[in-house]
Structure 1
Amino acid sequence: MNQRIRIVVAGSGGVGKSAITIQFLQGKFVEEYDPSIEDTYRKTIMIDDRSAFLEILDTAGQEEFRKREEIHTKEGDGFLLVFSVISEGSFKQAQKIHQNIIKEKENPNYPIVMMGNKTDLSNENDSISKTVKKYCQEYNTPYFQTSALENLNITEAFHELVRIIWKFKENPNSLKKKKKKKCVIQ
């Protein structure tokens, strides 16, 4: 039996949300892509010998489409929040989206995974890295450093989110924040 899971991919414009989604679904990097207003994709996958029917909503990152965020927040079973590791502003926007999800869902444990994309364009000493790690530790949110170009940690991030969603659906209190738990960085 396929369990339908609605994943919302959100973040600022130009951070690679569509490139990540297409890399996950089709295994290829798209060099040129028109900014999306929003696209929905569907795919059945196997994770840990369990089948899931994914409905992935690739959202618009442009400011003029921010009002749609509220609708997406209501619909999502889980969220991949994408930012560029070379743009502190995009991380701040991901934080805002994260806080809006927590507020809307009235649950700080809602299934969310942070993705710092474009690692192929940065070095490990970026100052944003410390801020991201601290934020993810504070909220017990898994964090994956990704590259859509190199297909780095894309599948792993999607699969981890699905696992978190399954656990959350089975017991919404199972993901309670634990003190001093380390942020998962892949």
Structure 2
Amino acid sequence: MAASNKTTAVYRLIMVGSGGVGKSALTLQYMYDEFVVDYEPTKADSYRKAVMLDGEEVQIDILDTAGQENYAAIRDTYIRSGEGFLLVFDVTDAESFQDLNELYEQILRVKNGGTNIPAILVGNKIDLAERRKVPLEEAEQKARSWSIRYIETSAKTKHNVDKVFCELMRIVRPFKNPVRETGPTTTSGRQTKPIKSGKHKKCIIL
């Protein structure tokens, strides 16, 4: 009788926000440890990588959507495929913060799941503190009104970049259908690394 293979969980995360807020910069910093200043906007770019999430090997699938208004009509398709959402705005751009209201409403409408949507509100570009336009308190209040977390990031310095992706996967995890797995090996046959007791659980790219 053939041995059953372990199924690696795939986390499909969607980057949502206006153009120029740093969605691509956050994604590329997380995936490749690179800070890209000038990024040519496209309709959408998809990235997938194996990561360790709390001692379990999983796949993270990030869809970096375009923020331009002319692509809004096809955003429904992306939202429908997503399991978790990073709602990104630029802390130096108050308009990008306001734009998220419509985007969040679109997510709620497409997912049709009430307000219980796995998401994190992300205030990016906090390295530009002297140009800040959106107060911390206002962003935190917005997140509370949506019953989601608020985390501030800098794609340039990588502050909290790993954290937002890892935390979103942890939020998504209870929503996924649990897969009963046997054996300590991955699909490639490698053994998963055990978590040492007393250590903080990590989320690392393999």
- TM-score per shorter chain, which class? 0.7 to 0.9
* % identity of equivalent residues: 36
Q: Is the 8 Å Cα contact of residues 118 and 147 (structure 1) preserved in structure 2? A: yes
* 1:99-138 aligned within 5 A: 99-107=105-113, 108-123=115-130, 126-138=133-145
Deviation at 1:103, TM superposition (A): 2.1
Q: Is the 8 Å Cα contact of residues 2 and 52 (structure 1) preserved in structure 2? A: yes
Q: Which runs of 5+ in 2 are unaligned?
A: 1-6, 179-206
Structure 1 counterpart SS, 2:127: helix
**Matching residue of 2:146:** 139
Find 2:72's aligned residue among 55, 66, 75.
66
1:21 aligns to 2:59 (yes or no): no
**Matching residue of 2:57:** 51
Aligned residues: 171
Structure 2 counterpart SS, 1:119: coil
**Matching residue of 2:155:** 148
Deviation at 1:125, TM superposition (A): 7.3
Q: Which has the higher contact order (CA 8 A, sep 6+)?
A: 2
| Higher-Rg member (1/2) | 2
Deviation at 1:170, TM superposition (A): 5.2
Looking at structure 2, the residues matched to 97 and 51 of structure 1 have their Cα atoms a distance apart, in angstroms, of: 31
**Matching residue of 1:31:** 37
Q: Is the 8 Å Cα contact of residues 88 and 128 (structure 1) preserved in structure 2? A: no
Moved over 4 A (4+): 123-127
Q: Is the 8 Å Cα contact of residues 115 and 145 (structure 1) preserved in structure 2? A: yes
Looking at structure 2, the residues matched to 135 and 10 of structure 1 have their Cα atoms a distance apart, in angstroms, of: 16
Looking at structure 2, the residues matched to 125 and 146 of structure 1 have their Cα atoms a distance apart, in angstroms, of: 13
Provide the aligned C-alpha RMSD in A: 1.7
Deviation at 1:124, TM superposition (A): 9.6
Q: Is the 8 Å Cα contact of residues 6 and 78 (structure 1) preserved in structure 2? A: yes
Q: Is the 8 Å Cα contact of residues 110 and 168 (structure 1) preserved in structure 2? A: no
The one-letter amino acid paired with 2:66 is: A
Q: Hey, which of these two has a bigger chunk of helix by percent?
A: 1
TM-score computed with the length of structure 2 as normaliser: 0.78
Deviation at 1:64, TM superposition (A): 0.8
Q: Deviations over 1:64-121 (max 9, x none)?
A: 1111111111110111111000111111112221121122212211111111001011
1:95 aligns to 2:105 (yes or no): no
Q: In 2 relative to 1, CA 157–40 (structure 1 residues): closer, same or farther, beyond 3 Å?
A: same
Q: Which runs of 5+ in 1 are unaligned?
A: 172-186
Looking at structure 1, the residues matched to 8 and 35 of structure 2 have their Cα atoms a distance apart, in angstroms, of: 28
Q: In 2 relative to 1, CA 22–151 (structure 1 residues): closer, same or farther, beyond 3 Å?
A: same
Deviation at 1:167, TM superposition (A): 1.6
